[in-house]
């Protein structure tokens, strides 16, 4: 299993229906021609760099030199240098991106979801097709719903896990915020009441450029709080200034009125669990909900994770903190380049389901219902129908796969029952040959008769 051909077909071409197991969806990559066309369109109208091309405009149309240039003296330049400001021909310098938060002190291992393995094994047994093991590993990596993420602690900080969705968090505060934002209806009832709409005249309203969330006019009293709250809840891995630059100001009366309508209602929250004979306490804001959740539910819903955590892939990549997500994505990308560790785990799991692992076709590892076995018809006589199938496959290796089955059926005489009876008879013989390993139905290659193994003397010659 350690040696695989460097150039192998893409998993997207694998003829396998995983609707009942992994439910794949293939996405075609954009062709190189389309990428080049987009790049050409992008740079067609790009401004020229200073010094890139000679300025052919008349001198009268050129901009006069600024104060402080060589032609106009150096006083202004000295003033700007004294003030700590300098003109940069490349434009204002951008703030250096903050390094991505990474979970350290933990090892990551990607495992195939046992439910998907069960469905995959059932389908291989039902179709009797041999699939490349490495392609099946790539198929699992296509979607996080098909694998589990195992976190093994070495010397990292302890993590916390929610029992509601099995997501992991670096501290209890982050776990509480996630539980309240994603699973609020499990613990609280939300009532919407009408309040007085904001008064005043506003020229524009701020809109999040990434979620289209209405943040309100920039001169409204809670604008900064809403801006920082949305950043903390949805985009904490991005620097605040970078996120703030994505916010756009919209001067539209309909958008301003829409914001006023949204602010004319208010949510009130009530615990679903409260002492019998008493009224549920009213919680006026999400901050009060978080405090109530921390006092009454955190002890049972949030648990300190041990040294080994197992999380569904889609939960860790979509509902856990950024450090764990980045670490997992790196592990998945490494496996996509070289899926041997996952293929080894997958091979062991499929072997435990009764399937066979073998190598063929220049050391490619396959998984199927049986290993290839050569049938010597001289020492082990078989029926004429079985022998005709084997003889045809041995003599027609280059025939296209779609034509082989049709040719095998046409070899058999037409019985009194007609075409349906002949096809049923051929299917019965093929099923026996496939389950015994005398014929292997390779994905992409089609039916092939098992070849006789050469002796050591023949191999040496």
Provide the pLDDT confidence category of residue 183 given band limits of 50, 70 and 90. Answer: very high
Provide the pLDDT confidence category of residue 49 given band limits of 50, 70 and 90. Answer: very low
Provide the pLDDT confidence category of residue 163 given band limits of 50, 70 and 90. Answer: very high
Phi/psi for 191 (5° steps) reads -115, 135
Provide the pLDDT confidence category of residue 156 given band limits of 50, 70 and 90. Answer: confident
Average pLDDT over every residue of 330-351: 95
pLDDT for res 159: 94
Least confident of 20-24, 323-327, 344-348, 349-353: 20-24
Average pLDDT over every residue of 139-164: 93
**Which two tokens mark 191?**
């009532």
Question: Residue 39 above 60 pLDDT?
Answer: no
Question: Residue 109 above 80 pLDDT?
Answer: yes
Provide the pLDDT confidence category of residue 103 given band limits of 50, 70 and 90. Answer: confident
What does the alpha-carbon distance between residue 110 and residue 311 come to, in Å, rounded to a whole number? Answer: 10
Provide the pLDDT confidence category of residue 99 given band limits of 50, 70 and 90. Answer: low
Least confident of 92-101, 179-188, 349-358: 92-101
CA distances (Å), origin 110, targets 87, 161, 165? 51, 18, 19
Domains and CATH numbers, the chain: 101-159+305-352 (no CATH), 181-301 (no CATH), 373-460 (1.10.10)
Provide the pLDDT confidence category of residue 107 given band limits of 50, 70 and 90. Answer: very high
pLDDT for res 339: 94
Provide the pLDDT confidence category of residue 351 given band limits of 50, 70 and 90. Answer: very high
pLDDT for res 79: 46
Average pLDDT over every residue of 173-200: 89
Q: Who's near 162: CB < 8 A, 6+ residues apart? A: 169, 175, 178, 179, 183, 301, 302
Question: Residue 359 above 60 pLDDT?
Answer: yes
Question: Residue 424 above 60 pLDDT?
Answer: yes
Q: Summarize pLDDT for 247-283 with one digit per residue, the tens.
A: 999 998 999 889 888 888 888 999 998 888 788 899 9
What does the alpha-carbon distance between residue 415 and residue 41 come to, in Å, rounded to a whole number? Answer: 65
Question: Residue 164 above 70 pLDDT?
Answer: yes
Q: Who's near 258: CB < 8 A, 6+ residues apart? A: 214
Which of 96-100, 266-270, 291-295: highest mean pLDDT?
Answer: 291-295
**Which two tokens mark 364?**
């490619």
Question: Residue 244 above 50 pLDDT?
Answer: yes
pLDDT for res 248: 92
DSSP calls for 376-444: -TTTS---HHHHHHHHHHHH-TTS-HHHHHHHHHHHSPPPTT-HHHHHHHHHHHHHHHHHHTSEEEETT
Provide the pLDDT confidence category of residue 7 given band limits of 50, 70 and 90. Answer: very low
Provide the pLDDT confidence category of residue 73 given band limits of 50, 70 and 90. Answer: very low
* 403 within 8 A of 409, measured Cβ to Cβ: no
Average pLDDT over every residue of 356-366: 93
In the DSSP assignment, the letter for residue 16 is -
DSSP calls for 92-111: SPPPPPPPPP---SEEEEEE
* 131 within 8 A of 367, measured Cβ to Cβ: yes
**Which two tokens mark 272?**
């679903």
What does the alpha-carbon distance between residue 121 and residue 136 come to, in Å, rounded to a whole number? Answer: 11
* 364 within 8 A of 415, measured Cβ to Cβ: no
Provide the pLDDT confidence category of residue 19 given band limits of 50, 70 and 90. Answer: very low
DSSP calls for 237-253: TS-HHHHHTT-EEE--H
Higher pLDDT, 43 or 309: 309
3-state secondary structure of 27: coil
Q: pTM of the entire structure?
A: 0.66
Q: Who's near 394: CB < 8 A, 6+ residues apart? A: 449
Q: Who's near 278: CB < 8 A, 6+ residues apart? A: none
What does the alpha-carbon distance between residue 304 and residue 313 come to, in Å, rounded to a whole number? Answer: 20
Average pLDDT, the chain: 80
Neighbours of 175 (CB within 10 A): 24
Q: Who's near 113: CB < 8 A, 6+ residues apart? A: 140, 145, 146, 147, 148, 312, 313
């Amino acid at each position: 299993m350690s040696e695989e051909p460097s150039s192998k077909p893409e998993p997207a071409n694998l003829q396998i229906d995983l609707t009942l197991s992994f439910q794949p969806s293939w996405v075609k990559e954009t062709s190189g021609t389309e990428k080049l066309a987009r790049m050409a369109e992008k740079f067609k109208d790009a401004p020229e760099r200073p010094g890139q091309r000679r300025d052919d405009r008349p001198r009268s149309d050129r901009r006069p030199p600024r104060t402080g240039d060589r032609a106009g003296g150096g006083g202004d330049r000295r003033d700007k240098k004294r003030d700590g400001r300098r003109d940069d021909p490349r434009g204002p310098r951008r703030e250096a991106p903050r390094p991505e938060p990474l979970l350290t002190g933990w090892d990551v291992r990607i495992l195939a979801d046992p439910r998907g393995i069960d469905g995959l094994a059932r389908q291989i047994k039902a179709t009797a097709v041999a699939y490349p093991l490495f392609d099946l590993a790539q198929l699992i990596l296509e979607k996080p719903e098909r694998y589990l993420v195992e976190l093994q602690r070495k010397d990292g900080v302890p993590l916390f896990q929610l029992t509601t969705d099995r997501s992991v968090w670096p501290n209890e505060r982050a776990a509480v915020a996630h539980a309240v934002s994603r699973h609020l209806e499990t613990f609280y009832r939300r009532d919407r009441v009408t309040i007085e709409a904001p008064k005043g005249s506003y020229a524009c309203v701020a809109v999040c450029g990434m979620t289209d969330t209405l943040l309100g006019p920039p001169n409204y009293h809670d604008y900064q709080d809403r801006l920082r709250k949305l950043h903390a809840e949805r985009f904490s891995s991005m620097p605040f200034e970078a996120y703030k630059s994505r916010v756009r100001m919209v001067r539209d009366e309909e958008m301003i009125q829409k914001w006023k309508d949204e602010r004319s209602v208010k949510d009130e929250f009530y615990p679903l669990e409260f002492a019998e004979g008493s009224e549920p306490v009213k919680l006026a804001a999400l901050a009060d909900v978080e405090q109530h959740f921390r006092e009454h539910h955190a002890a049972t819903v949030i648990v300190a994770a041990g040294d080994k955590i197992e999380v569904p892939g889609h939960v860790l990549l979509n509902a856990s903190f950024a450090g764990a997500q980045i670490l997992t994505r790196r592990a998945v990308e490494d496996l996509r380049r070289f899926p041997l560790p996952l293929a080894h785990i997958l091979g062991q799991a499929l072997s435990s389901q009764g399937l066979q692992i073998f190598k063929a076709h220049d050391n490619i590892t396959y998984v199927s219902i049986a290993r290839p076995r050569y049938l010597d018809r001289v020492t082990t006589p078989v029926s004429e129908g079985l022998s005709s199938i084997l003889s045809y496959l041995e003599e027609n290796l280059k025939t296209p796969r779609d034509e082989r089955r049709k040719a095998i059926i046409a070899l058999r005489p037409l019985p009194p029952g007609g075409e349906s009876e002949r096809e049923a008879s051929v299917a019965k013989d093929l099923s026996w040959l496939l389950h015994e390993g005398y014929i292997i139905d390779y994905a992409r290659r089609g039916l092939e008769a098992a070849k006789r193994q050469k002796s050591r003397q023949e191999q040496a010659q």
